[in-house]
């Protein structure tokens, strides 16, 4: 299914041009939708475009692959700016006021404008990182509202070759696309690799690439220094290749066996060799010497830039390593040896969660900048065809109408179901009421019949027709009138007693007993 809402980003690397498309989720995570890459060593060097036509072809291929995966057209892309010419320079702008006045935002904007107008030879200003403002004798990052007669504004300006943006724009346009925005690669990398605590406490971010190594120094959440060193992991490969080894094999030797630092050992086998599929071999000690020497050169240049920043003694969060070359074994030990800073962290991934395990997005530090560019993008990069958009709108309206129609039908169905339910409940209530009424009528009828039978039984008993009276009582009992059960039992016993006392034998017995009693009285 085609995707029509996404952000697309391009990283112009010295070894390859990579592109990614993704969508930001509400929780801040990113869903990767597409990824593509093309080798760029024959058109980009040290992070700088030197062959416009080949770069255009690579861009067209990368973005085309993204479009195939997205099943949608891309209108614009976010592009990272990096490379050898990128660096920071400091500048100070001052303002002397006639009288003490409260600093306004307009004054701060004026100082920023003056800073941006500083003269640059063959360079252009790409970004400005305000540092502190000196108000009186105090340094602050929030000067607005403070009364003063004098203010100094300190800036770190990020500059680069004045053809950086124009060459990127030309290549992207020739490929048939637009640039959504130019983003500084070191800054977007820092934003997803460094934690807020590291930026605040003070740290150096070292991004080790193929042709360049970028150093960014942070303190109190502010970028203090930026430099790009024209040395990278490719220099190690070329040093190995200088031993009459094919560059492809040299790269494999580096990836398989290289180490930035080797512990001295008395048990070392001086004859040990490393080989690549029988095509070439190199003595282990020789490979170690080459790799460690070039690594040492790179790290010494990094440490020199950190010292030039003026914050080498304030890196309480240490040094954070990222980039593809940060995977070189024991690189952290080599850094500790050079800098004497023991707090070293290797950032294989950024602090942004990726919700899709895309097979080409690997957690080895090489794609942190690319993901940072994607995270920094804001606008939808999809190309919307007006005709298709109109058809899509009509289709959307039809779908919405269908949804509303179904919703109305469902509402009516529920109303009818509720009406029938109420009718059924009412019918059941009426039936129950009728049943109760009929039951009450039957109960009243049984009561009247029972009372009539009791009255008849009493009359029969008075006429000494005890058997008939008892039969009437049995008939009354069969009616099962609860309120009359006790009365029936008592009356039954009474009549039964009367019956027993009025038998011929009982009458003779009573007569003889009476005569005997009289005779006894006469004798006395």
Give DSSP secondary structure letters for 262-309. ----TT--TT-EEEETTTEEEEHHHHHHHHHHHHHHHHHHHHHHHHHH
Determine, yes or no, domain membership for 482. yes
Burial code of 115-128, b = ≥16 C-beta within 10 A, e = fewer? beeeeeeebebbbe
* Radius of gyration of the CA atoms of the chain, in A: 50
217 shares a domain with 326: yes
Please state the φ and ψ torsions of residue 200, each to the nearest 5 degrees. Answer: -75, -45
Is the domain of 202 the same as that of 341? yes
Q: Is residue 332 domain-shared with residue 446, that is, in the same domain?
A: no
Residue 420 lies in a domain: yes
411, 331: one domain: no
Exposure of 143 in the CB half-sphere (CA atoms within 13 A): 29
Asked if residue 262 is part of any domain, the answer here is yes
Count of C-beta atoms within a 10 Å radius of residue 71? 11
Query: Within its chain, how far is the Cα of 352 from the centroid?
Result: 9
Token readout for 452 is: 């009539």
314, 333, 348 - which closes a domain: 348
What DSSP designation does 231 have? -
Residue 446 counted as domain residue: yes
Given the structure tokens 């020199």, which residue do they identify? 304
Overall pTM surpassing 0.85 (yes/no): no
DSSP 516: H
- Report how far residue 211's alpha carbon sits from residue 227's, in angstroms, rounded to the nearest whole number: 14
Burial class (CB in 10 A: 0-12, 13-18, 19+), 468: middle
pLDDT of 363 reads 79
CA distances from 432 to 58, 425, 426 (A): 84, 10, 10
Beta carbons of 237 and 251 less than 8 angstroms apart: yes
- The pLDDT, as a whole number, for residue 445 is 87
What are 151's two structure tokens?
A: 């203010």
Domain that holds residue 322: 196-348
Q: Provide the CB-side half-sphere exposure for 447 (13 A, CA).
A: 9
Domain end residue (candidates: 348, 367, 386): 348
Is there a single domain that holds both residue 310 and residue 211?
Answer: yes
- Residue 163: predicted pLDDT: 93
Distance from C-alpha of 322 to C-alpha of 348, rounded to nearest angstrom: 6
- 337 and 227 housed in the same domain: yes
Please answer whether residues 203 and 320 qualify as being in contact, where contact means their C-beta atoms are separated by less than 8 angstroms: yes
Q: How many CB atoms lie within 10 A of CB 134?
A: 18
φ/ψ of 49, rounded to 5, equals: -70, 125
Weakly modelled stretches of the chain, pLDDT under 50: none
Between the alpha carbon of residue 64 and those of residues 71, 78, 275, 287, 360, the distances in Å are 10, 15, 39, 41, 17
SS3 content of the chain, % helix, strand, coil (to 5): 50, 25, 25
Last residue of a domain, one of 328, 348, 368: 348
The model's pLDDT over 267-299, given as tens digits with 9 standing for 90+, comes to: 667 778 888 887 888 998 999 999 999 999 999
What pLDDT does residue 355 have? 80
Pairing of strands 280-283, 147-161: unpaired
Report the C-alpha gap between 61 and 362 in whole angstroms: 21
**446 and 313 in a common domain:** no
DSSP of 376-431: H--S--BPPPHHHHHHHHHHHHHHHHHHHHHHHHHHHHHHHHHHHHHHHHHHHHHH
Q: Are 150 and 96 in contact, with CB atoms under 8 Å apart?
A: yes
Cα separation, 158 vs 184, in Å, equals 9
User: Is 99 inside any structural domain?
Assistant: no
Instruction: Using alpha carbons only, give the angle 101, 103, 107 rounded to the nearest 5 degrees.
Output: 115
Other Cβ atoms closer than 10 A to 147: 12
Q: How many domains, in total, are found in the chain?
A: 2
Residues 221 and 287 in one domain: yes
d(CA 213, CA 305): 11
> In this structure, are 251 and 331 located in the same domain?
yes
Dihedral of the alpha carbons of 495, 497, 498, 502, in degrees to the nearest 10: 140
Number of H helices, E strands in the chain: 14, 18
Give one DSSP letter per residue of 106-149, joined into a string.
HHHHHHHHHHHT---SSEEEEEEEEEEEEETTEEES--TT-EEE
**Separation of alpha carbons 187 and 216, rounded Å:** 8
- The reply to whether 218 and 344 lie within a common domain is yes
In-domain check, residue 201: yes
CATH number of the domain where residue 314 is located: 3.30.420.40
Are residue 232 and residue 308 in the same domain, yes or no? yes
In a domain, 484, yes or no: yes
To which residue do tokens 């509202």 refer? Answer: 145
Residues 208 and 332 placed together within one structural domain of the fold: yes
Asked whether residue 467 is assigned to any structural domain, the reply reads: yes
Buried b / exposed e over 430-467, threshold 16 CB at 10 Å, is: eeeeeeeeeeeeeeeebeeebeebbebbbebbeeebbe
């Amino acid at each position: 299914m085609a995707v029509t809402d996404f952000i697309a980003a391009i990283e112009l690397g010295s070894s390859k041009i990579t592109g990614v498309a993704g969508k930001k989720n509400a929780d801040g995570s990113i869903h990767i939708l597409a990824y593509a890459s093309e080798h760029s060593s024959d058109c980009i060097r040290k992070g700088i475009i030197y062959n416009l036509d080949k770069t255009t072809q690579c861009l067209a291929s990368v973005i085309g692959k993204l479009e195939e995966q997205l099943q949608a057209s891309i209108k614009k892309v976010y592009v990272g700016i990096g490379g050898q010419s990128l660096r920071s320079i400091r500048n100070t702008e001052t303002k002397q006021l006639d009288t003490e006045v409260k600093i306004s935002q307009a004054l701060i904007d004026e100082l920023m404008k003056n800073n941006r107008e500083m003269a640059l030879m063959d360079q252009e200003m790409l970004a400005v990182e305000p540092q502190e403002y000196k108000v009186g004798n105090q340094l602050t990052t929030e000067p607005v509202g403070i009364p003063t007669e004098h203010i100094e504004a300190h800036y770190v300006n990020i500059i680069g070759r004045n053809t950086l943006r124009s060459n990127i724009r030309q290549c992207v346009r020739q490929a048939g696309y637009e640039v959504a925005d130019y983003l500084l690669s070191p800054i977007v990398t820092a934003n997803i690799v460094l934690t807020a605590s590291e930026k605040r406490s003070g740290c150096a971010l070292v991004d080790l690439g193929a042709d360049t190594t970028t150093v960014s120094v942070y303190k109190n959440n502010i970028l203090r220094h930026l430099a790009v060193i024209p040395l990278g992991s490719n220099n190690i490969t070329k040093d190995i290749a200088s031993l009459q080894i094919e560059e492809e094999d040299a790269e494999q030797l580096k990836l398989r066996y290289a180490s930035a630092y080797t512990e001295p050992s008395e048990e070392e086998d001086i004859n040990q060799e490393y080989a690549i599929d029988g095509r070439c071999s190199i003595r282990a000690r020789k490979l170690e010497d080459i790799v460690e020497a070039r690594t040492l050169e790179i790290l010494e240049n990094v440490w020199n830039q950190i010292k030039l920043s003026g914050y080498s003694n304030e890196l309480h969060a240490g040094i954070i390593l990222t980039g593809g070359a940060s995977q070189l074994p024991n690189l952290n030990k080599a850094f500790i040896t050079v800098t004497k800073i023991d707090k070293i962290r290797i950032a294989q991934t950024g602090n942004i969660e990726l919700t899709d395990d895309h097979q080409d997005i690997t957690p080895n530090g090489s794609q942190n900048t690319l993901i940072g560019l994607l995270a920094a993008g804001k606008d939808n990069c999809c190309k919307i065809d007006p005709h298709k958009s109109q058809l899509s709108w009509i289709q959307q309206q039809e779908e919405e109408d269908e949804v509303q129609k179904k919703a109305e039908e469902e509402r009516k169905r529920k109303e009818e179901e509720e009406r029938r339910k109420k009718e059924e409940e009412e019918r059941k209530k009426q039936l129950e009421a009728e049943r109760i009424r009929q039951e009450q009528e039957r109960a009243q009828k049984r009561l009247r019949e029972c009372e009539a039978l009791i009255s008849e039984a009493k009359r029969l008993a008075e006429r000494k027709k005890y058997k008939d009276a008892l039969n009437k009582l049995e008939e009354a009992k069969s009616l099962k009138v609860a309120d009359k059960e006790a009365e029936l039992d008592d009356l039954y016993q009474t009549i039964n007693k009367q019956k027993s006392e009025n038998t011929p034998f009982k009458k003779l017995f009573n007569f003889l007993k009476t005569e005997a009693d009289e005779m006894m009285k006469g004798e006395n």
